[in-house]
């Protein structure tokens, strides 16, 4: 069995498992927002575990996808702030493009986050889950794993990495389908910016994990203060 085919199977197993968990779990969650978030959290953790098993089977370490020992904390923070600004700028560009195509959408319905309003203990609980499933999970899965595996399948040259960034960013955007067309485009642009920042940072995944965490903290604190 060729290496390219086994990598393709690995990608299919990772995302197939997440899809099964979501398709089976969401009907049981019903309209319960917390239950829905738990299903997404379980799906993301399942992807991480399958990827970890694949690394072990291949004899590769987590550093293969950029999870390395932190050596210079100050430099890491500076790089993550630059990545954060770049990602936000890309998100805004995506918003402007879609606003010119479809018009400015109505404000998003944030009623599902009312449980966070003024609830400090719940804020910390929500942030803990988001750091695992979103900040670390999404960067590890989409930037570290998917982008790397696609580039490897396409030969690992410069053009392969460009296509890998495009494809993984589109996958990242489509994963946010529940946000609607605007959200898909916004997160696709943001994903591309994070992927470029990751590659420019010599594929140090902590740079984009921390940048993603900044965005998650800002969103959750807004909900807490609302």
Report the distance separating Cα 115 and Cα 34, nearest Å: 9
Cα(54)–Cα(122) distance, rounded to whole angstroms? 34
Report CA-CA distances (Å) from 172 to 60, 114, 186, 221.
24, 26, 10, 24
Mean pLDDT, residues 161-172 taken together? 97
* CA geometry: angle 210, 200, 16, nearest 5 deg: 65
Residue 67 to residues 93, 194, 198, Cα–Cα distance (Å): 29, 15, 11
Q: Report the alpha-carbon distance of residue 137 to residue 124 in Å, rounded.
A: 18
* Window from 7-11, 111-115, 187-191 with minimum mean pLDDT: 111-115
The residue ranking higher by pLDDT, 178 or 146, is: 146
pTM: 0.91
pLDDT band at 163 (very low <50, low <70, confident <90, very high): very high
Given a contact cutoff of 8 angstroms between Cβ atoms, the answer to whether 191 and 91 are in contact is: no
Backbone angles phi, psi at 43, to 5 degrees: -60, -45
pLDDT digits (tens, 9 = 90+) for 7-31: 999 999 999 999 999 999 999 888 8
pLDDT at 121 (0 to 100): 85
With the CA atoms of 136, 121, 28 and 215 taken in that order, what torsion angle do they form, in degrees rounded to the nearest 10?
-30
Q: What is the pLDDT of residue 109?
A: 59
Q: Which long-range contacts (CB under 8 A, 24 or more apart) does 68-72 make?
A: 68/204, 68/205, 68/206, 70/206
User: Percentage of the chain with pLDDT > 90?
Assistant: 65
Rounded CA-CA distance 24/22 in Å is 6
Reduced to 3 states (helix: H, G, I; strand: E, B; else coil), residue 54 is: helix
* pLDDT band with cut points at 50, 70 and 90 for residue 226: confident
Query: For residues 184 and 173, is the Cβ–Cβ distance under 8 A?
Result: yes
Name which residue leads in pLDDT, 208 or 72.
Answer: 208
Identify whether the C-beta of residue 14 lies closer than 8 Å to the C-beta of residue 141.
yes
């Amino acid at each position: 069995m060729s290496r390219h085919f086994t990598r393709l199977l690995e990608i299919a197993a990772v995302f197939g498992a997440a899809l099964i968990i979501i398709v089976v779990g969401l009907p049981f969650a019903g309209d319960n927002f917390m239950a829905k978030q738990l299903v997404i959290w379980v799906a993301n953790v399942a992807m991480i575990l399958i990827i970890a098993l694949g690394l072990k089977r291949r004899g590769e370490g987590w550093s293969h996808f950029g999870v390395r020992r932190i050596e210079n904390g100050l430099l890491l923070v500076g790089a993550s702030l630059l990545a954060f600004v770049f990602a936000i700028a890309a998100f805004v560009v995506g918003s402007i493009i879609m606003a010119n195509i479809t018009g400015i959408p109505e404000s998003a319905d944030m009623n599902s986050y009312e449980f966070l309003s003024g609830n400090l203990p719940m804020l910390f609980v929500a942030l803990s889950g988001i750091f695992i499933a979103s900040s670390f999970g999404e960067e590890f899965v989409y930037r570290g794993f998917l982008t790397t595996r696609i580039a490897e399948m396409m030969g690992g040259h410069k053009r392969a990495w460009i296509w890998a960034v495009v494809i993984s960013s589109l996958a990242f955007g489509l994963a946010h389908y529940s946000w609607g067309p605007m959200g898909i485009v916004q997160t696709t642009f943001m994903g591309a910016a994070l992927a470029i920042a990751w590659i420019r940072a010599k594929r140090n995944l902590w740079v984009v994990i921390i940048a993603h965490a900044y965005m998650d903290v800002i969103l959750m604190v807004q909900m807490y203060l609302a």
